[in-house]
Amino acid sequence: MTIFVKNKHTLQVEEFKFKCCIGIKGSTNNKKEGDKKTPKGTFEIENLYFRKDRMEKPITLLKCIQIKKDMGWCDDNRFPRKYNKLIKIEKKIKCEKLKRKDSKYNLIIPIKYNFKKPIPGLGSCIFIHLTKDYKPTAGCIAMKEKDFLIMLKLLRKKTKIKIF
């Protein structure tokens, strides 16, 4: 199964089409850290991370991991071994904190872009996450919670995402 992101506003899973938003500067074949673009290509997806303190574990075949306060996703070029990986938050390492005050990361699925042997500077922390207003993202794909929960019921562990 493949999730398709065909344009800035549509995410499709099988016959279901959902409204979404992507990076403020669109999509690109030449992703760089901080460029506010969503990477083009076909990628595997990671596990589902969720906020148990804000919602019940969603219905999905994906492995579900509870977000804890010390969890971050490394976007620090100075730490190549940790770059674009889930880490325990440390003061000296720049990272995207997964436990946020807002609701954007109540549900997240990391996209396996620049993932297996990550190259620092080519982009990190590319997630499918939540939005309330469809404002463009810093490079992620965002959708409303009700649509995200429907999408989760359709996904399989081997699901890929194709971004145009």
- Is the domain spanning 2-163 CATH 3.10.129.10? The answer is no
Q: Name the residue ranges covered by the structural domains of the chain.
A: 2-163
CA gap 77, 123 in Å, rounded: 10
pLDDT at 39 (0 to 100): 98
Model pTM score = 0.96
| Closest by CA position to 60, among listed 160, 164, 152, 157 | 152
- Mean pLDDT (whole number) for 42-51: 98
55, 65, 99, 101, 108 from 149: Cα distances, Å: 11, 15, 19, 20, 11
- Across the chain, mean pLDDT equals 97
